[in-house]
Amino acid sequence: MTVLLTLKQYNLVQKMLPPMEKLHQNDFIPLFRLIADDYHIEDKAAERAAAIISNISVIVSSPRKAARLCSLASTWSSKATVVQDEPFTYEVKLEEPERCLLAQTLDAFSRIVMGQMHILFEIMDIPESAQENQHALDMYHDVYWYGQYGAKEARDLLFPAIRDFGWNGGYGIASKEVAEDARLAYQLVKALRREYVLPVTNEPIAQIIENPQLM
């Protein structure tokens, strides 16, 4: 399949993939710095938040997931061709597994960047030793559902505007209080999944061409 993207959409994917790869290596700093930049928060807050999350021992790195994202990131530019098809600047050819991986990763990115920090604990792996340890499973439950063990503190460092909303609270995706990166990623996810796209930015909706050879 081929995806037609604007320059801003293309650049967002290029910007998003490396920190999401690092996330699956248990390195939270690149993604948290991106969030800090989006919301005009000091880098020190991002680093403190990363240290807190790193110390919550309910998730581990996933080399396989990181490798898949590394492969997509390293080949992203080679998959793209510059086009003169206003308002689009690039067409990107994706295999079906790549489309699914990109949509899945953009979805997680969008949710995390809008403040849904529980998604971190949803997409990352749990230590094998924890799966038969009731205390560890209870700890995971409390972190995921209630933001305990410092998780909400880390969220509040990155998203002070939603400090009073509670662990699962926040602004909706259409709100201008949500960073444009999150809103633009949402639009891309919906387009890649061939679903209705609520226009939450001024960017045009990415176009999907299923069989470009027939055009």
Number of compact structural domains in the chain: 1
Q: Are 176 and 120 in contact (CB under 8 A)?
A: no
Residue holding tokens 């990352």? 124
What's CA 200's distance to the chain center, in Å?
A: 17
pLDDT average, residue stretch 171-177: 96
The mean pLDDT value for 53-78 works out to 93
pLDDT in tens, 123-141: 999 888 877 889 889 999 9
The model's pTM is: 0.94
Contact (Cβ atoms closer than 8 angstroms) between residue 143 and residue 150: no
The sign of the dihedral angle between the CA atoms of 169, 173, 175, 180 is positive
Looking at residue 24, its pLDDT comes to: 96
Supply the range of the domain harboring residue 116. Answer: 2-214
